[in-house]
Amino acid sequence: MGRGGDPRAAGISELTLGLVGFGRIAQYLAGLAAPVFGSVSAYDPFIPDEGWPADERRGELAEVLAASKVVSLPTSFMKRPGTCSTPRTSPSCRRAAM
């Protein structure tokens, strides 16, 4: 619950950060965000299971977007057709995350 009992005013330590793409920059961001956010989860279809860091939470795109209040989307991902560029194009995106 956020300040004053308002669930919309949750502190950052209560939020989930979703990372779409998990290359060098996103992995660095995950390391910075882990002590600050309540949780961090990521999606990257190009990293095989055996290459995924053991201490990082992985999910499918729809799961990461639905669970995250804050989302990091790389510009290269945003240029792909059918990706989450707006809540309208992906119903699994929370409005607050965009």
Report the C-alpha gap between 77 and 60 in whole angstroms: 15
The pLDDT assigned to 80 comes to: 57
Domains of the chain with bracketed CATH: 15-97 (3.40.50.720)
pLDDT one digit per residue (tens) for the chain, 98 residues = 455 556 566 688 999 999 999 989 999 999 999 999 999 999 998 888 888 888 888 999 999 999 998 999 886 665 555 555 544 445 555 554 44
The pLDDT assigned to 98 comes to: 46
| DSSP character string of 51-69 | GS-TTSEE--HHHHHHH-S
The pLDDT assigned to 92 comes to: 54
Distance separating the N- and C-terminal Cα atoms of the chain: 21
